[in-house]
Structure formats: structure tokens, C-alpha cells
Structure 1
Amino acid sequence: MTHTEILRTVKWKDLQQLSIREMLIENNLTIPWALISWLFVFYDYYMLALPFSAFFFLTALRQVHNGFHNSLGTNKTLTWLSLYINSILMMVSIHAVKYNHIRHHKYCLSEEDYEGKSAGMTWYGAILYGPVHMFLIHKVTLQLANKKYVRNVLLELFSVAVFVSIIFYFNITFLIYHCIVMLIGEFLMAFFAVWTVHHDTHDSPEIARTQRGTWKNKLTFSMFYHLEHHLFPAVPTIKLPELAKRIDDALPELDKKQTF
């Protein structure tokens, strides 16, 4: 079944709209995880802070991912602000990530898909490739993107540099810890955000891997409903469990490879 046929078969357009409650969740999901991790580090409980830092990174990724597809329920200015703030907190230019992610949807797993390069590697190759991945998406954006993208990338990188300089100059320990953990997270993106959901799917790139099982999806904040996202990128993450149910009901024969 083609992508177009799937779009016609599954009811999905009503899932694009967010209620006020859902909009507040999507735009504030990162806050408790950041505050708790910073509090633990402030009192030198680094091991206790790590899982909360990981959840911050995951929820921030969910937030910016929705921002890429204008699915935060906010206007353009607030969506831009969300991407900008998360650039500083995640130690990367989120607009560079956005540029490559939009290309990923357009050229999925082809030579033009720079984000998807690690999908064809071994799992350990994707992990080792992580730092190259982060460098490449910035390089590609600065070389190929329009002037607006380039300005945003340069602004975000400058802001990250200022942020890092300030926290090291004043020796703000809990934020130094945060920056280090975020960098590690970014270096693992080629594995977690690309390889896990796209390996062995080159025959049908639009049919990405997905995840079933309530506890697994709750633990990962619904970020591994990737088949659903690639088929219906305009649907916000908070609506993906319902979309997955509709796909299962309408297309039980659709091959759904599991993420983990």
C-alpha cells in the first residue's frame, strides 16, 4: 500500500488540533525534568540526576520535533522561541537539526538525506558516527540552507558559546554538568534518533519502525511511534498513541517492525 493510499484510509486530520491542556503539556514537558536534575546536581547527587537529565533530553527532543512540524499549538514567534531556548539548553543549533529533519522527510534514506546516514550502519557504527553526525548537520545547513536558516544557526551557535562561557567563567557546577550530559546525548543522536527507527527499512523508507506496548511508550514519551510520524508528520506527538490505534484498526496487515 502506498503512502497516499494510507493517508486516504486512516482518519487523521482531526488529530492535528491540540486542546489548551495538550498545548500546555507539549510546551512545558521539559521543565520538571530539568529542575529535578539540576537540584540533584546542586546537592552533588550526580547519579540520581542522570535519569532526570535523560528524560529532559528526551522531552526536549519531543518538544523541538513538534516545533519542526508546527505542531506545538503556538504561533510562529513562540515556536521559534522554543527552538531557540532549546538550542541553548541542548548545546546544538536546533534550526540546523530542523533543516536536516525536513530534508529527511523529503529524501528519506536517499543520498540527499544527511540526517539518515547512520540508518545503514551497524548499531555500534551509528554510535561511533555520532560526533560526525552532529558536525555534518551544521555544515550542510550552512552550505545549503537559505539565509534565514543560516542566520538562525549562527545566532544559536553564538548563544550556546556565550552560555558555555558564562557558566565556566562563574563555575556554575550544575550547569557545567548539564552541558556535558547534553553533549553526550547529542553524540548519541545518530544511534537513538536515526538508527533505532530506520535500520533495515531501506526497501520502504516511509514505513519506519514503531513501538507497541504501553509501558515502553510511556517510558519513551511516545517518541518511538516513528512509522506513525513518517506517515502523518503533522500529527503532534501527544496524539500518536491514538493515531497508532487507528492505523492498527484500519490496516492490520501493515508490516510494523518494532523499534525495541
Structure 2
Amino acid sequence: MTHKEIIKKIEWKDLKNLSIKEMLIENNLTIPWFVLSITLAYHGHYILALPFSAFFFLTALRQVHNGFHNSLGTNKFLTWLSLYINSVLMMTSIHAVKFNHIRHHKYCLTEQDYEGKSASMTWYGAILYGPIHMFLIHKITLKLGNKYYKRNVIFQLISILIFATIVFYFNIYFLIYHIIVMIIGEFLMAFFAVWTVHHDTHESPEMARTQRTSWKNKITFSMFYHLEHHLFPAVPTIKLPELAKRIDEVLPEIEKKQTF
């Protein structure tokens, strides 16, 4: 069954709309994790801070991912502001990630899909490739992106540099911790955000892997409903569990390769 045939069979357009409560959740999901992480790091409890830093990174990834697809329920400026703030906090140009992610949907797992390069590697190869992946997505955006993307990438990189310079110059130890953890997180993106959801799917790239175990989806904030996302990228993450339910009911025969 083709992508177009699946779209015709599933009711999904109503899932694009967010209630005020859902919009507030999607746009503020990162705050408690960031506050807890920074507070614990400020008091020197780095080990205790680590899981909260991980959850901040994951929820920030969810937030910017929705921003890529204009699914935050906010206007253009507020969506841009979310991408900018998370660029500084996550230590990477989120507009560079966005440019490559949009191309990933258009050219999924082809030679032109620079985001998806690690999908054809071994799991340990994807981990080792992580730093190259982060360098490459910035390079590709500055090379192939239009003026809007290039301007935003440069602005975000300058902002990150200023932030990091201030933090290290004044030796703000709890923010040094945050920067180091975020960079490690970015270096693992080629594995967690690409390999886990796309390995061994090259024959049908649009049929990405997914996750159907309830507790796993809860602790990963529904970020591994990747089959559903690739089929219906305009649907916000908060609505993906409902979308998965509809797909299972209407098209139970679709193969659902598990993420983990």
C-alpha cells in the first residue's frame, strides 16, 4: 500500500488542531526538566541532574520537531522564538537541523537525505558518526539553504558562541555542566534520532519504525511514533497516540517494525 493510499484511508486532519491546553503543553514541556536540571547542577548534584537534563533534551527535541512542521499551535514569530531559544540551550543551530529534517522527509534515505545517512550504518557506527553528523547538517544548510536559513543559522551560531564564551570566561560551573551534557546529546542524535527509527527500512523509507509499548512511549514522550510521523508529518506529537490507534484500527495489516 502506497503512502497516498494510506493517507486516503485514515482520518487525520482533525488531529492537526490543538486545544489551548495542548498548545500550552507543547510549548512549555521543557520548562520543569530544565529548571530541575539547572537547580541540581547549581547545587553541585551533577549525577542527580543527569536524568533531568536528558528529559530536557528529549522534550526540547519534541518541541523543535513540532516547530519544524508548524505544529506548535503558535504564530510564526513565536515558533521562530522557540527554535532560537532551544538553539542556544541545546548548543546547536536548530534551523540547520530543521533544513535537513525537511529534506529528510522529501528525500528519505536517498543520497540527498543528509540527516538520514546514519540509518544504513551499524548501531555503533551511528554513535561514532555523531560528531560528523552535527558538523554536516550545519555545513549542508550553509551550502544549500536559502537566505532565510543561512541568516538564522549564522545568528544562532553566534548566539551560542557568545553564550558559551560568557559561561566559560566567568567559570559558571552549573552552565558548563549543561553545555557539556547538551553537546554529548547532540553527538548521539545520529543514533537516537535517525538510526533507531530508520535502520533496515530502506526498501520502504516512508514506513519508519514505531513504538507500541505504552510505558516506553510515556518515558520517551511519544517521540518514537516515527512511522506515524512520516506518514502524517503535520500531526503534532501530542496527537500521535490517537493517530496510531486509528492506523491500527483501519490498517492492522501494515507492518510495524519496533524501535526498541
TM-score, normalized by length of structure 1?
Answer: 1.00
2:51: which partner in 1? 51
Q: How far off its partner does 1:42 sit?
A: 1.1
1:24: which partner in 2? 24
**Match status 1:9 vs 2:9:** yes
Distance in 2 separating the partners of 1:31 and 1:62: 13
Q: How far off its partner does 1:138 sit?
A: 0.3
SS in 2 for 1:143: helix
* Displacement over 4 Å in runs of 4+: none
Q: How far off its partner does 1:169 sit?
A: 1.4
Q: How far off its partner does 1:33 sit?
A: 0.3
Corresponding letter in the other structure for 1:235? V
Distance in 2 separating the partners of 1:242 and 1:111: 33
Q: How far off its partner does 1:214 sit?
A: 0.9
Corresponding letter in the other structure for 1:7? I
2:122: which partner in 1? 122
Corresponding letter in the other structure for 2:57? F
1:194: which partner in 2? 194
Q: How far off its partner does 1:201 sit?
A: 0.1
**Match status 1:139 vs 2:139:** yes
1:231: which partner in 2? 231
1:81: which partner in 2? 81
Corresponding letter in the other structure for 1:155? F
Listed as ranges, the matches of 1:211-250 within 5 Å are 211-250=211-250
Distance in 2 separating the partners of 1:165 and 1:186: 19
Deviations 1:20-39 (A, max 9, x none): 00000000000000000111
Corresponding letter in the other structure for 1:167? V
Task: Point out where structure 1 has 5 or more consecutive residues left out of the alignment.
Answer: none
Q: How far off its partner does 1:172 sit?
A: 1.2
1:63: which partner in 2? 63
Task: Point out where structure 2 has 5 or more consecutive residues left out of the alignment.
Answer: none
Distance in 2 separating the partners of 1:20 and 1:166: 37
SS in 1 for 2:133: helix
Corresponding letter in the other structure for 2:59? T
Distance in 1 separating the partners of 2:134 and 2:72: 24
Distance in 2 separating the partners of 1:82 and 1:32: 16
2:161: which partner in 1? 161
Corresponding letter in the other structure for 1:225? Y
Distance in 2 separating the partners of 1:155 and 1:189: 22
Deviations 1:55-114 (A, max 9, x none): 000000000000000000000000000000000000000000000000000000000000
> Which deviates more from structure 2 when the two are superposed, residues 166-175 or residues 126-135?
166-175
Corresponding letter in the other structure for 1:152? N
Distance in 2 separating the partners of 1:226 and 1:173: 37
RMSD, matched Cα: 0.4
2:102: which partner in 1? 102
Q: How far off its partner does 1:213 sit?
A: 1.1
Distance in 2 separating the partners of 1:174 and 1:45: 9
Distance in 1 separating the partners of 2:181 and 2:150: 26
> Which deviates more from structure 2 when the two are superposed, residues 12-21 or residues 39-48?
39-48
> Which deviates more from structure 2 when the two are superposed, residues 165-174 or residues 63-72?
165-174
SS in 2 for 1:194: helix
Distance in 2 separating the partners of 1:71 and 1:190: 23
Distance in 2 separating the partners of 1:170 and 1:65: 33
Identity of paired residues, percent?
Answer: 78
TM-score, normalized by length of structure 2?
Answer: 1.00
SS in 2 for 1:58: helix
